[in-house]
Structure 1
Amino acid sequence: MPATDLPLLLDAAAAAGDIAMRYFKSDPQVWDKAGDQGPVTEADLAVNDMLTARLRSAQPDYGWLSEETPDDTARLTTHRQFVIDPIDGTRAFINHSLDWAHALAVVEDGRVTAGVVTLPARGLTFAATLGGGATLNGKPLHVTQVTDLAAANVLTTKPNLAPHFWLGGAVPPFSKGFRSSLAYRLCLVAQGKFDAMLTLRPSWEWDIAAGSLIVSEAQGTATDRWGAPLVFNNPYPQVDGVLAAGAVHGALRAALV
């Protein structure tokens, strides 16, 4: 990985925050995406335009995958790719919640090598490089060492608690929390604020690429719902759910069907 990738992502994420905060709580124009893919705002598009120009000009040989850019197969022929969510948690952004994020990653041969997740409204910047550890505002991150699933605090949503997902139809009695942004949920696990996060539905790569590296570099484990390694830059850019945790990862995976 070129040594410039993490500084490049950090600078771009800071610029994204500057743009987004100009729209935040100012009721930007909102459109509904086709295919029931949720809302998009003029802030999402402005951030995406800036990131496209800044990142692609800095590394023109990298492929490009962004939630707000039509996908094409050209990225599949590249060695490295930018994987970007201009605003993760657009509904939170629209509703004036603080829990939206910019998620920026570089992927090489299917693995994330650099990742940044920023929450401008909260003043938080999570960052990681492969083999280099994970930080929050420059300070090292570590996942929790909780191993008892009943004592765990897990970020998830109600559909994931349907009995048919769990062995014997019994949902473990862990504590439950929620945040709008998948990227932020992953970072909260890396930070040790929660013991795990779980989503069992197919997940877009741009939502999880940066955060998954931040978890793993905080000594945690981030896999798909079956416990398999996450692989990025797929022809169809989704993975089969995400399970990210500290020491409780094995127990949580073992409780799932």
Structure 2
Amino acid sequence: MTDLELILEAAREAGALAVSARDKGLKIWSKDGGSPVTDADLAVDALLKTRLRQARPDYGWLSEETVDDPARLDTARQFLVDPIDGTAAYLKGKPWFAVSIAVVEAGRPVAGVVLAPALDETYAARAGGGATLNGVPIAPSAAVHLEGAAMLGDAKMFAHPAWPAPWPPMRVESRNSIAYRLCLVAAGTFDAAIAMSPKNEWDLAAADLICAEAGAALTDHLGRGFAYNEAIPLLPSLVCANRALHPLILSRVGHIDLPQR
């Protein structure tokens, strides 16, 4: 079984568990930083950790819901996992949450799956093999102008008066799951996605490969690509778009000074 086949099977099991756990009722509490977590997050994490590490015991492990073990830094390949990305939507009964699983080698994802179980959408990719949605190849949109673009991001951010030049009129929407947002751009459902706040490696790794294989561009706001399995698994920002819009967005956000990891 290939890595992609393995994580596809595991993601399907995890997605089914997430849906059934929400249907049964959740126990909810807050992490140290104040963000919500549920018993389902931990149950899905445990399922994936058992399933994947039994199949690949030599792979490292980095997950939102597992205490980080620096031993992963010395492994040749790693699983990067977000058991339930988009917990806020998950808690509210919305469909915009996803299971995100990537296999990383030498700092880059080589297999990735983002599965949105409530929407029956499975995005998948392997390095050099293209990207798919439910088995059908995907590609980003052909939009060439920001005006009128379908943008995923914070509407208040775009409307802020501090921008050197106002953003043109755009259709701005939000989706809680970061991984799912990026997949929507990779598939051409939206034209671009922007976030000017730090994101964790497990949020982006699988979707990064899906975007690359689909033909979308994903970088930080300075146009730099991402490396994974770092000692501090935090990324400063994200700009994701088709190849025409990506440089137009960078020209508007590149002046922003954000903390680096």
**TM-score per shorter chain, which class?**
over 0.9
- Alignment-derived partner of residue 30 in structure 2: 32
- Alignment-derived partner of residue 149 in structure 2: 152
1:6 aligns with 2:4: yes
Deviation at 1:72, TM superposition (A): 2.0
Give, in whole Å, the separation in 2 of the partners of 1:121 and 1:153. Answer: 23
What are structure 1's unaligned runs of at least 5 residues? none
Distance change >3 Å, CA 157–CA 25, structure 1 → 2: farther
Give, in whole Å, the separation in 2 of the partners of 1:25 and 1:157. Answer: 30
String of CA shifts for 1:42-67, please: whole Å, max 9, x gaps.
Answer: 11111000100111111111110000
Give, in whole Å, the separation in 2 of the partners of 1:90 and 1:119. Answer: 12
Deviation at 1:177, TM superposition (A): 1.1
1:210 aligns with 2:206: yes
The answer to whether the 8 Å contact 2:153/2:173 transfers is yes
Q: 2:52 aligns with which of 40, 51, 55?
A: 55
Give, in whole Å, the separation in 2 of the partners of 1:183 and 1:142. Answer: 16
SS in 2 for 1:47: helix
1:239 aligns with 2:235: yes
Stretch of structure 1 that moved more, 25-34 or 185-194? 25-34
- Alignment-derived partner of residue 98 in structure 1: 95
Give, in whole Å, the separation in 2 of the partners of 1:177 and 1:130. Answer: 30
- Alignment-derived partner of residue 176 in structure 2: 180
Q: 1:132 aligns with which of 129, 132, 145?
A: 129
Q: 1:74 aligns with which of 51, 71, 86?
A: 71
What are structure 2's unaligned runs of at least 5 residues? 256-261
Distance change >3 Å, CA 152–CA 43, structure 1 → 2: same
Deviation at 1:159, TM superposition (A): 5.5
Deviation at 1:222, TM superposition (A): 0.7
Q: 1:64 aligns with which of 61, 64, 75?
A: 61
In the TM superposition, structure 1's runs of 4+ consecutive aligned residues that sit over 4 Å from their partners are none
What TM-score do you get using the length of structure 2 for normalisation? 0.93
1:196 aligns with 2:208: no
1:107 aligns with 2:104: yes
Distance change >3 Å, CA 160–CA 65, structure 1 → 2: farther
Deviation at 1:169, TM superposition (A): 4.7
Deviation at 1:174, TM superposition (A): 2.3
The answer to whether the 8 Å contact 2:155/2:172 transfers is no
Q: 2:248 aligns with which of 244, 248, 251?
A: 251
SS in 2 for 1:127: strand
SS in 2 for 1:70: coil
What TM-score do you get using the length of structure 1 for normalisation? 0.94
Deviation at 1:103, TM superposition (A): 0.3
- Alignment-derived partner of residue 224 in structure 1: 220
**Aligned-pair identity (%):** 46
Letter in 2 for 1:14: R
Letter in 2 for 1:34: D
Distance change >3 Å, CA 107–CA 159, structure 1 → 2: farther
SS in 1 for 2:78: strand
The answer to whether the 8 Å contact 1:145/1:248 transfers is no
Deviation at 1:23, TM superposition (A): 1.1
Give, in whole Å, the separation in 2 of the partners of 1:56 and 1:159. Answer: 42
String of CA shifts for 1:15-37, please: whole Å, max 9, x gaps.
Answer: 1012112112333101100122x
- What is the RMSD computed on CA atoms of the aligned residues? 1.3
